[in-house]
């Protein structure tokens, strides 16, 4: 959550437990992820028709961020961390159902 707090310029005092998710404009959050942490969008998928889940990572620093984005453009950082390991996709052997 340190990255999330830094991204949005929050105060040092922690918010109440139910309000610890950092949210804001998706444009602003992804701009900070790219500029401050060197993170790039690496994958996404729909959790439901109104919410997109995105993974942002930095190959150079190993930081990563899991971002939820609503259809109205509000994005929330669900998790962030370090030491991301990127593995190449594994191909299924011929004749084997994956």
Tens-place pLDDT, residues 24-79: 999 999 999 999 999 999 999 999 889 999 999 999 999 999 999 999 999 999 99
**Which H/E stretch holds residue 6?**
helix 2-8
Q: Indicate the pTM of the whole model.
A: 0.70
Question: Domain-by-domain residue ranges, the chain?
Answer: 2-10+21-81
Check residue 90 and report its DSSP letter: P
3-state secondary structure string across 15-79? CCHHHCCEEEEHHHHHHHHHHHHCCEEEEEEEEECCEEEEEEECCCCCCEEEEEEECCCEEEEEE
Q: Of the ranges 8-12, 14-18, 43-47, which is most confident? A: 43-47
Q: Considering only CA atoms, which of 54, 74, 52 is closest in space to residue 64?
A: 54
């Amino acid at each position: 959550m340190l990255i999330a707090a830094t991204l949005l310029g929050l105060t040092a005092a922690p918010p109440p437990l139910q309000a610890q998710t950092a949210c804001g404009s998706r444009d602003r959050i992804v701009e900070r992820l790219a500029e401050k942490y060197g993170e790039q969008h690496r994958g996404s998928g729909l959790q439901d028709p109104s919410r997109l889940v995105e993974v942002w990572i930095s190959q150079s620093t190993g930081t990563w961020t899991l971002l939820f984005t609503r259809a109205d453009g509000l994005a929330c950082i669900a998790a962030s961390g370090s030491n991301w390991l990127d593995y190449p996709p594994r191909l299924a052997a011929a004749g084997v159902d994956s």
